[in-house]
Amino acid sequence: MKENLSNLKKSARELYLLNRTQAVVSWDQETQMPDAANEERAEQLALLEGIMHQKLTSPEVGRLLSALGAEEGRPEGKGDFAVEDKAFVREMYRNYSRASKLPESLVTEMARQTGLAHTSWVNARKNADFSLFEGNLEKIIELNREKADKIGYKEHPYDALLDEYEPYMTASQVEGVFGPLGEKLSDLTARIAASKQVDTSFIEKKYPVELQDKFGRSVIDKMGFPMDRGRLDISAHPFTTNLGTNDVRITTRYDEELVLSGLFSNIHESGHALYELGIGENIQGNILAEGVSLGIHESQSRFWENVIGRSKPFWEVFYPEFQKLFGEQTKGVGLDDFHKAVNKVAPSFIRVEADEVTYSLHVILRFEIEKAMLSGDIKVSSLPDEWNRRMKDLLGIVPADDAEGVLQDVHWAAGLIGYFPTYALGNLYAAQFSNSMKSGIGDLDDVIRTGKFGKILGWLRENIHQYGMVYPADELCRRVTGENLNPDYFTDYLEKKYGEIYGLRGN
C-alpha cells in the first residue's frame, strides 16, 4: 500500500509541475504577451492541457487508485494512512474520475478556444462591442454543455461545472442560499438608498497612478505579502496565480479617477496569495497545495479587502500615510468622513468595484444568467439585452455600453462557467470565520488598530491556510466555526456596520 501511494504521489508531482508550468504561460499571456502571439499561445496551452489530461487519466493512475481501494463511496481508499495522505488519495480519485469522463479532444479544444477567446474579449471590451466576442462565447458555452453531459449530473448541468470550483455543492443548494440572501440585501440596499448619502466627492478626484501604486505596495507589505516569494503586475483583470511554492503572483489595475479600485484589488489579490503561500510544509508541492474551494479562497480575499480594509481601525492606521501622498485630494477631509466614503453603498455597474452590500447581487445575477445560458433559456446573441434587463430589475440601473455591462468580467472568456457563485459564498465564509477569530485573538478591531497584522495572518494560517485541500470546505467550516455555513453572520455584519454608517433605524 505504501509503495502504491508513493508511486501515485510521483505521478501527481508531475501533474503539479505541469499545472504550474501552464500557469506561467497563462500569466505571461495576461500580463506581457504581444497580441500577435495569441494563436500560437492558444496551441501551447492546448498542448499542455492535453499532456496533463493524458497523465491524469493514464491506466497506471487508475491501477494505483484501484490498488489503494479508492472507489465511489470510499474515494479516500482503504489504506491506514495519515489524514493528509487519505485526502491526497481522495482528491486524486476525484480528479481522475472527472477527467476520465472527458475525451482529450474536448479538453484540448476548450484550452484552444479559451486561449483565442481571451484576446477577443480584450478587444471587445476595449471597443465596448459584444459582437466581437459573441462567437467565441457561443463555442465556450457549447463546450461547457458537452463537458457537463460527459461528467454527469443529477439535477442540472450546472451542477457538474459548479462542482469543479465548489466541490460537493449543487446549484439547488446555491439557490437555497442566494434566494433569502438576495432578499435581505435588496431590503438593506433600499433602506440605505432612503437615507442621506455619504459624501464621496474627494474620492472622485484624480489620484496619480504612481502614488496609488506606492501606497498599495505599502499596504500589502504590512499585510505580510512577501515580494521575495511573489510579484505585483498589471493586467486587464486583476488575478492571482500560483506558479510554485515560492512564486505566487498577483496583478492589479489602476485608474487615476478610481483610487479605491486599484487599492482594494491589491488587498483582495494579496488575500488570495497569502492563502497559497501559507500552505503547510507537509503538503507543499502536491495537489493538496491549493485552496480547498474557491468559496473558501474567496473568503480570504474578501476578508482582507472588506472586513479589514474597509474597517475604521484599518484607516486609523493608514489614513495619515494616505493623506501625506494625496494631501490636495484629501484636504479638510477627516477620518470619519473618509471611512464613510470608502464604504459608500450605491448600485453600480462594475462587480469588482461594487460595495459590500450590493456586490453579492452582482454575483446572483451572473449565476442566474449562467444557468440559463447553459440550459439554452438565454441565447448568447441576446445576452447584452438580457444582462441590461436583469441589471435594471436587480439594481435599478442600466449599463451605458457593453464594456460596463456584459463584457466587464474575464471569466466566460476563460471558460469558467460555474465560478461566479463562489464569490458570494466567500463573503459568507469570511463573516463566519471573522466571528470565530475573536475567540482566538480577541477583539479584531483592537488588533487592526495596532497596525501589526501578523496576529491575524497567524490565526488564518493555523486554522485555514496550512490545510490546503486536506479538509473539504464544509468540514473545514465546521472545524473552524463549529457549524455549517450560516449566511446570518454576513447579513448581521452588514446590518451592524452600515446601520451605523447610514444611521438606519434600530442601530
Catalytically active residues, by annotation:
269
Residue whose entry in the numeric block shows the C-alpha cell 500569466: 27
> What is the amino acid identity at position 57?
T
Decide if 286 contacts 12 (C-beta within 8 A).
yes
| Residue of 356, 358, 347, 344 lying closest to 502 (CA atoms) | 344
Torsion of Cα atoms, 385 then 383 then 255 then 218, to 10°: 130
Cell of 468: 490546503
433's CB contacts (< 8 A; 6+ apart) are: 299, 303, 463, 464, 480, 481
Cell of 385: 439585452
Maximal C-alpha separation, the chain: 71
Decide if 363 contacts 420 (C-beta within 8 A).
yes
25's CB contacts (< 8 A; 6+ apart) are: 41, 44, 45, 48
Q: How far apart are CA 129 and CA 401, in angstroms?
A: 8
Decide if 85 contacts 68 (C-beta within 8 A).
no
Cell of 433: 470565520
CA distances from 435 to 237, 356, 482 (A): 31, 17, 11
Q: How far apart are CA 6 and CA 12, in angstroms?
A: 10
